[in-house]
Amino acid sequence: MPTHTSEKAILIISDGVGDRPIAALQGKTPLEAAKKPALNKLAKKGATGLLHILSPGIPPGSDTGHLSLFGYDPRDCYTGRGPFEALGAGLDLEPTDVAFRGNFATVNKAKDETFGVIDRRAGRNLPEGKQLANLINGLKVPNYPKIKVIVGHTVEHRCVVVLSGDGLSSAISDTDPHGHADSVLTSMPLDDTPEAKTTAQIVNELTREISRILTQSPVNAKRKKAGLLEANTVLLRGAGVLPEIPSLKEIYGISTACVAGGALYKGVARAVGMEVLTVPGATGSYDTNVEAKAKATANALKTHDFVFLHFKPTDSAAHDKDPQKKIAMIEKFDHMVDTLTGLIDMNHTHIAITGDHTTASTTGKHTGDPLPLLVVGPTIRDDEVSEFSERACAKGALGHILGMAVMPLLMNAIDRSPMYGA
Amino acid sequence: MPTHTSEKAILIISDGVGDRPIAALQGKTPLEAAKKPALNKLAKKGATGLLHILSPGIPPGSDTGHLSLFGYDPRDCYTGRGPFEALGAGLDLEPTDVAFRGNFATVNKAKDETFGVIDRRAGRNLPEGKQLANLINGLKVPNYPKIKVIVGHTVEHRCVVVLSGDGLSSAISDTDPHGHADSVLTSMPLDDTPEAKTTAQIVNELTREISRILTQSPVNAKRKKAGLLEANTVLLRGAGVLPEIPSLKEIYGISTACVAGGALYKGVARAVGMEVLTVPGATGSYDTNVEAKAKATANALKTHDFVFLHFKPTDSAAHDKDPQKKIAMIEKFDHMVDTLTGLIDMNHTHIAITGDHTTASTTGKHTGDPLPLLVVGPTIRDDEVSEFSERACAKGALGHILGMAVMPLLMNAIDRSPMYGA
């Protein structure tokens, strides 16, 4: 029987793994159609259920989905995606900072002084991203000299922007038109506070200043000459402040680590106090090296009580509306799980496997359909389900539970969930 | 596969359809004993579950039941049934109005100046109801001349009364003794606010004034002469204000319509922004024309994204403690569902079928037992349940969920449930 100190836990997320019946798969979901011997073996050994990440029928974002999976109620602590992207990009945040996701984009100045959006992604491939971010990092907003502006490049056309200073608010609207409008939007306050009003003004002034600097940059002159789209503004979205939440260590007394490719997942992991490990080959893309990730997870388990292992390609395939690709990625995920379970002591490890949301291969969008959940380990009462899939797990012994319950359930299995009461 | 704009949804409620094991039915429920091929066919095709309308063991009212089914938490927005009855009767309400259900009743003046109740319903059959309502509509409450009094007749002995003006509160008790007392009750404030105190005084004065006017009316002189009970007062109950809630259109961006017979259901539908359709033959009684209702629903679906279709007789039969009649009405409901599904494009429609509460044929009362729930449509992962009944649906893939989840679940199925997070 397990003793307190040596028991370990792993939470494995296959991003967007849930799906809907697909006509081309004779009504099966990609998960049902995939060959997944390792997952099925664990399902047979453990207990299964269905997971409503937020609540039935509510499509989760990637950020709110992972906050829930880590045991935090996004309705209490979530303001926007910006701070998680910023943390994931390696920036540090003060509780008073307001962080945004940014896109380098191509705009032209219309006669009415608004900016028309030519391409929200400045052609997407932007090798000069880091250079451009450096150009505007630390710039001064003319009428707000005390506000610090930090800009960090992430991948392709993407960046993060952080406003640092007193009296800021995240209750402001995006400047990014998201394809719903043709122009750069004016940021507006979303509540009646002077902080929201001021922050919206700062953002609008910042946007003009960024456009001014980028338009004059030799980088863009070069791109123009080469017939490429100029990256002459940054569209901002997802304003948020870092949630003030206790770390997993504070709640459960555990040491925690994260193995992930994508910046957002690393960011949410940092926000709950995980050590984010650098794993060469863990790209977050289809080519991600699952053997490297499995090995890194097994290694991390030697020095940490809990490891969060994230796998992105299942979601990407569904966003690409490619159920066959999703099947292939589920099979790649299965291989990762198989490799991992071969490397660890299954007699002293509990594993939970699920997704952060359903992504429908039909629409390419997040949906509110529930996810299969699987928990396996020496303390788990097994059930008769022997397949890891949406329909099979609906009959499992874990029942239908909320995303926020996964972490307490896993921590309870390794006797780290604090008693409530006496 | 579904595209965003053409997908439709229908919520069909068989009022009070759930029941308990009935000895005369060899322990079956009326739903289990009924022949219901259309419902069973849909159960086989779709997914099923059990629905706790409010929470396990809490008997819902018809008003709170429907608010929950439309996705609103009655604990946040419900004050009383009055405003829904008023809306259903076609009256319009301001957010500051206090609305009541009223009964024309027969009282006699006792020596102590209280009014003894002879019949809470003035004989129930009251052809002069509209005439009597007109007599007291617009009357002035002597000490509160600024308060406007609106009275509308509905059916039989029933009416709605609305107080309009500043400084009113719904936190007052009923004047209707509900069979628990022999006299008209004095309305009392239910909280410490001056508004509640004033409104209770207004209601008591209004009751005396109504009695004065009705007692002198030629209508009652005629009834007395004919040996009928005089309708010489109005008993008030269910004081409430209209909830300040966003419409379904505001939440989901959908156009919505209601096909119902009973005033209450139309009223709740209006409160959440539905267009209430007039369907000749939709009476809300045993004789309701289900083919007309099915056709009206199918037609409404051509111009609306969502239709709420309500069927009352299952509840009425249970209130009459007549399980055989309830079986017959379930079979009538099944015929309505069969007619409807023959008229619509099932490849582009999602349907949810359930009840608003269980009504026990044994006691004739609402109970907190859960309801069978069935959701069918192209995005739904089916399960192995092939019968629409309480015991069968307990095993379904939708699990056991709350009434408030039905609408997000249905909206998620047609990709109209907004994502929370990014």
pLDDT in tens, A107-153: 998 777 788 999 999 988 899 999 999 999 999 999 999 999 999 99
Q: Determine, for residues A21 and B380 on separate chains, whether the beta-carbon distance falls below 8 Å.
A: yes
Q: Determine, for residues A55 and B421 on separate chains, whether the beta-carbon distance falls below 8 Å.
A: no
pTM of this structure: 0.94
Considering only CB atoms, B420 lies closest to which of A50, A54, A399, namely A54
| A289 three-class SS | coil
**More reliable by pLDDT, A112 or A390:** A390
Q: Determine, for residues A57 and B409 on separate chains, whether the beta-carbon distance falls below 8 Å.
A: yes
Considering only CB atoms, B415 lies closest to which of A62, A363, A400, namely A363
Find chain B residues with C-beta within 8 A of A367's C-beta.
Answer: 379, 412, 415, 417
Please state, for a pLDDT cut of 70, what percent of chain A lies above it: 99
According to the model, what pLDDT value does residue A5 have?
A: 54
According to the model, what pLDDT value does residue B5 have?
A: 53
Q: What share of chain A is helix, strand, coil (3-state, %, to 5)?
A: 35, 20, 45
Look at residues B104, B107, B98 and name the one whose alpha carbon lies nearest to residue B189: B98
Among A391, A398, A402, the strongest candidate for a mutation testing the B interface, having the largest count of B CBs within 10 A, is A391
Counted across chains A and B, CB pairs separated by less than 8 A come out at: 93
Which DSSP helix (H) or strand (E) runs through A196?
helix A194-215
Tokens for A366? 């997040």
| A117 three-class SS | strand
Considering only CB atoms, A50 lies closest to which of B399, B405, B422, namely B399
Q: What is the mean pLDDT of residues A387-406?
A: 98
- Residue bearing tokens 């819902």: B60
Find chain B residues with C-beta within 8 A of A58's C-beta.
Answer: 408, 412, 417, 419-420
Among B379, B381, B406, the strongest candidate for a mutation testing the A interface, having the largest count of A CBs within 10 A, is B381
Q: Determine, for residues A391 and B383 on separate chains, whether the beta-carbon distance falls below 8 Å.
A: yes
Tokens for A115? 């900016």
Q: Determine, for residues B405 and A362 on separate chains, whether the beta-carbon distance falls below 8 Å.
A: no
What's the CA gap between B85 and B80, in Å, rounded? 10
Determine the distance in angstroms separating the CA of A237 from the nearest CA of chain B, rounded to an integer.
Answer: 10
Considering only CB atoms, A366 lies closest to which of B383, B397, B419, namely B419
Do A146 and A176 contact (CB within 8 A), yes or no? no
What's the CA gap between A269 and A87, in Å, rounded? 9
Q: Determine, for residues B421 and A60 on separate chains, whether the beta-carbon distance falls below 8 Å.
A: yes
Q: What is the DSSP string of A354-385?
A: E-SSEEETTTTEEE---EEEEEESTT----S-
**More reliable by pLDDT, A54 or A112:** A54
Considering only CB atoms, A58 lies closest to which of B2, B408, B415, namely B408
Tokens for B133? 């309502």
Per-residue b/e over A44-69, b at no fewer than 16 CB within 10 Å?
bbbbbbbbbbbbbbbbbbbbbbbbbb
Do B398 and B412 contact (CB within 8 A), yes or no? no
What's the CA gap between B237 and A331, in Å, rounded? 63
Find chain A residues with C-beta within 8 A of B408's C-beta.
Answer: 55-58, 368
What's the CA gap between A270 and A267, in Å, rounded? 5
Q: Determine, for residues A62 and B378 on separate chains, whether the beta-carbon distance falls below 8 Å.
A: no
Q: Determine, for residues A74 and B411 on separate chains, whether the beta-carbon distance falls below 8 Å.
A: no
- One digit per residue, the tens of pLDDT, for chain B of length 422 reads 333 458 999 999 999 999 999 999 999 999 999 999 999 999 999 999 999 999 999 999 999 999 999 999 999 999 999 999 999 999 999 999 999 999 999 998 776 777 899 999 998 889 999 999 999 999 999 999 999 999 999 988 999 999 999 999 999 999 999 988 889 999 999 999 999 999 999 999 999 999 999 999 999 999 999 999 999 999 999 999 999 999 999 999 999 999 999 999 999 999 999 999 999 999 889 999 999 999 999 999 999 999 999 999 999 999 999 999 999 999 999 999 999 999 999 999 999 999 999 999 999 999 999 999 999 999 999 999 999 999 999 999 999 999 999 999 999 999 999 999 99
Half-sphere exposure of B356 (CA within 13 A, CB side): 29
Q: Determine, for residues B415 and A62 on separate chains, whether the beta-carbon distance falls below 8 Å.
A: no
Q: Determine, for residues A368 and B421 on separate chains, whether the beta-carbon distance falls below 8 Å.
A: no
Question: How many other C-beta atoms lie within 10 A of the C-beta of residue A305?
Answer: 21
| A112 three-class SS | coil
Q: Determine, for residues B420 and A60 on separate chains, whether the beta-carbon distance falls below 8 Å.
A: yes
Q: What is the mean pLDDT of residues A171-191?
A: 94
Q: Determine, for residues B422 and A80 on separate chains, whether the beta-carbon distance falls below 8 Å.
A: yes
What's the CA gap between A347 and A304, in Å, rounded? 17
Find chain B residues with C-beta within 8 A of A405's C-beta.
Answer: none
Q: Determine, for residues A78 and B421 on separate chains, whether the beta-carbon distance falls below 8 Å.
A: yes
Q: Determine, for residues A369 and B381 on separate chains, whether the beta-carbon distance falls below 8 Å.
A: yes
Determine the distance in angstroms separating the CA of B326 from the nearest CA of chain A, rounded to an integer.
Answer: 31
Amino acid B281 reads G
A3 has a pLDDT exceeding 50: no
Find chain B residues with C-beta within 8 A of A56's C-beta.
Answer: 401, 405, 408-409
Look at residues B321, B332, B342 and name the one whose alpha carbon lies nearest to residue B288: B332
A4 has a pLDDT exceeding 70: no
Find chain A residues with C-beta within 8 A of B400's C-beta.
Answer: 400
Find chain A residues with C-beta within 8 A of B417's C-beta.
Answer: 57-59, 367-368
Do A391 and A411 contact (CB within 8 A), yes or no? no
Domains along chain B?
Answer: 8-78+244-413 (3.40.720.10), 86-240 (no CATH)
Look at residues A268, A211, A201 and name the one whose alpha carbon lies nearest to residue A234: A211
Q: Mean pLDDT, chain A, as a whole number?
A: 96
Determine the distance in angstroms separating the CA of A49 from the nearest CA of chain B, rounded to an integer.
Answer: 10
Q: Determine, for residues B401 and A60 on separate chains, whether the beta-carbon distance falls below 8 Å.
A: no
Q: Determine, for residues A60 and B410 on separate chains, whether the beta-carbon distance falls below 8 Å.
A: no
- CA-based torsion, A339, A340, A344, A349: positive or negative: negative
| B97 three-class SS | coil
Find chain B residues with C-beta within 8 A of A78's C-beta.
Answer: 421
Q: What is the DSSP letter of A121?
A: T
Amino acid B248 reads L
Q: What is the DSSP string of B186-248?
A: PP-BSSS-HHHHHHHHHHHHHHHHHHHHHHT-HHHHHHHHTTPPP--EEEEEEEE-------H
Q: Determine, for residues A366 and B410 on separate chains, whether the beta-carbon distance falls below 8 Å.
A: no
Look at residues B403, B404, B347 and name the one whose alpha carbon lies nearest to residue B376: B347
Chain B interface residues facing chain A, Cβ-Cβ under 8 Å? 1-2, 4, 378-383, 397, 399-401, 405, 407-412, 415, 417-422
Among A15, A54, A55, A76, the strongest candidate for a mutation testing the B interface, having the largest count of B CBs within 10 A, is A55
What's the CA gap between B271 and A404, in Å, rounded? 33
What's the CA gap between A165 and A410, in Å, rounded? 39
Find chain B residues with C-beta within 8 A of A29's C-beta.
Answer: 381
Q: Determine, for residues B409 and A29 on separate chains, whether the beta-carbon distance falls below 8 Å.
A: no
Determine the distance in angstroms separating the CA of A53 from the nearest CA of chain B, rounded to an integer.
Answer: 11
Find chain A residues with C-beta within 8 A of B403's C-beta.
Answer: none
According to the model, what pLDDT value does residue B114 have?
A: 79
Per the rule left: phi > 0, alpha: psi between -120 and 50, beta: everything else, B16 is left
Considering only CB atoms, B420 lies closest to which of A64, A367, A394, namely A64
Tokens for B290? 């289900």
Q: How far is CA B77 from CA A278, B65, B80, in A?
A: 50, 13, 10
Q: Which residue of A has its CA nearest to B45?
A: A27
Do A337 and A35 contact (CB within 8 A), yes or no? no
